[in-house]
Amino acid sequence: MGKNKMTSKAARRIQSHADKTGKNLDFKARAQRAATKNTSKK
């Protein structure tokens, strides 16, 4: 894994792209969970 952590902004960008293209729909939830997990640790 890379060392860059998922942010809320990145998760929104991923979700928006998935909605527009209809691809990676299962990744939307994982991105949001990762962003929430990473931001709650601060």
- At 3-40, the pLDDT tens digits run 788 888 988 998 999 999 998 888 888 888 999 898 87
Positions of E strands within the chain = none
**From the CA atom positions of the chain, what is the Rg in Å?**
10
Tell which residue, 17, 10, 3, has the closest CA to residue 35: 10
Residue at token pair 């809320």: 8
* Cα dihedral 16/21/27/31 (nearest 10): -20
User: What pLDDT is attached to residue 28?
Assistant: 87
- Looking at the whole model, is its pTM more than 0.85? no
